[in-house]
Chains A and B, each alone.
Chain A
Amino acid sequence: MAYQWDFTPVVANAPLLAQGLVNTLKITGVSLGCGLVLGLAFALMRLSPRPWLRLPAGFVIEVFRTTPPLVQLFWVFFALPLIAGIELTPFMAAIVTFSIQSGAFFAEVFRAGIQSIERGQWDGARAIGMNHAQAMQRIILPQAIKRMIPAFLERSIELMKTTTLVATIAYADLLFEANEISQKTFRPLETFTVVALIYFVVIFVVSLLARQLERRLAVSGENTVH
């Protein structure tokens, strides 16, 4: 006998799914913002001539690029509070983990972008009396950031997919709500199919926008870094 599909239980729980999607976007957005700031800081530290800035930044970047995100999340959620004597909600743990993690990836994007700017730009900036910070802020970064946009977008999409991991520490994101609804309604096939499609639509739209932007940058003759 063929399986009778029935989406009504899923539709009935639409508000829960909507709330889950909002939470997913919240974690993505906050981690992205913090990750960009951290990434720039890590990159500037790693490019610094001072070893006490360069080495710790290198260590954090390597560790967070080299270990699985889910292990990082579990460590931050279960181990860090005991070590630091603090309490972390699942939301906070997710923000901490994903901010540092995307910061580690963004740092390498920033570094590649900054290093892709030709030396003559530094020369030009210094020749009119700019110091290092002024040259970085006014001349180097504005050019570098334009080249980094595609890599940033790609990372942001990866981050959005990675946020599903928070479901494993019981934060009510879209995937967690899906699991709840499927257990409550005994309709896992419909629920997980709908949720997979929601993820697909949201991420696909962002991907298309990213590709459009990348094409525009390519047309305007901009180099990009990855």
Chain B
Amino acid sequence: MKWDFASVFDNTDALLAGAAGTLRLFAICLVCGLSLGLVVGLGRYARSKWLYWPATAFVEFFRNTPVLVQILWFYFALPILLPFTINPLAAAALGISLNSAAFSAEIYRGGIQSIDKGQWDGARAIGMGWGQAMRRIILPQAIKRMLPALTNRAIEIFKMSTLASAVAYVELLQQGKLIASLNFNPIEAYTAVAVIFFVFLWPLVQFTYVLERRLGRSE
């Protein structure tokens, strides 16, 4: 058994294209997922049942179905109901963003609920409205507590981006598959992909550990 990474290095361009695809999908899902999650999370916190129930149904549905099923549904099933086709990037971005929105909604809700009731009282006592209190007083404190969970979510989004390969979106794993099938070198190709992901994610994971420890100490 001889390892030969030359055949992988010959395909650096393909891997770079894959890395670009992974990062593009990651960025889209991170922004859409976490911001939609905030909206849904506030809905879960709302008193009006017209906001509460749809938000809750959304969270339950997307937390309790596998992302890959969602991606395939958006890719194969949804276009039938629409007058246009859905490309692999859109299907993957939809599936991963909605799933991440459901999970981050729960993070936001938990973070907001963890803030002492006295903070609301204090904000209202100086004449703040609900929106002002949330924006100026509650969220800034809650964000600090939610940070480790949110970076964890970001890591999960990065890992989930590989699922886009199931609809042939050009990302790192998809390019690994391509290289492996063209050069008959699955060992080197998949090892290289695994190492690239590890190199991307390891600093993020370590950063999350640091955040968790710091939070654990300060609370």
Q: Per DSSP, are chain A's interface residues mostly helix, strand or loop, or mixed?
A: helix
B64 touches A196 (CB 8 A): no
**Counting CB contacts under 8 A, is A133 at the interface?**
no
Say which residue of A62, A74, A179, A207 sits within 8 Å of B177 (CB atoms): A74
Indicate if the CB atoms of B186 and A161 lie closer than 8 Å: no
Q: A70-B162, A179-B72, A196-B73 are in contact. Are A207 and B64 (CB under 8 A)?
A: yes
Tell me the residues in window 79-108 of chain A with beta carbons closer than 8 Å to chain B beta carbons: 79, 82-83, 85
Q: Are A199 and B190 in contact (CB under 8 A)?
A: no
Contact of A68 among B63, B72, B162, B166 (CB under 8 A): B162
Shortest distance between the CB of A54 and any CB in chain B (Å): 17
B residues 184-205 touching A (CB-CB < 8 Å): 186-187, 189-191, 193-194, 197-198, 201-202, 205
A83 x B162 contact (CB < 8 A): no
B165 at the interface (CB under 8 A from A): yes
Q: How large is the interface on A (under 10, 10 to 19, 20 to 34, 35 or more residues)?
A: 35 or more
How many pairs, one residue from A and one from B, have CB atoms within 8 Å of each other in the complex?
117
Least CB distance, A65 to chain B, in whole angstroms = 7
Asked if B20 CB lies within 8 Å of chain A CBs, one says no
| Pairwise interchain contact A71-B193, C-beta atoms closer than 8 A | yes
Of the candidate stretches A29-37, A141-149, A186-194, the one touching chain B is A186-194
Residue on B nearest A76 in the bound complex, by CB: B190
Q: Is the CB of B197 within 8 A of A188?
A: no
Chain B: interface size category: 35 or more
Judge whether B1 and A66 touch: CB under 8 Å. Answer: no
Using Cβ atoms and an 8 Å threshold, which residues of chain A touch B97?
none
Q: Could you tell me which B residues sit within 8 Å of A by CB distance? A: 1, 60-61, 63-70, 72-73, 76-78, 80-81, 158-163, 165-166, 173, 176-177, 180, 186-187, 189-191, 193-194, 197-198, 201-202, 205
Q: A residues touching B (Cβ–Cβ < 8 Å)?
A: 3, 62-63, 65-72, 74-75, 78-79, 82-83, 85, 157, 160-162, 164-165, 167-168, 175, 178-179, 182, 188-189, 191-193, 195-196, 199-200, 203-204, 207
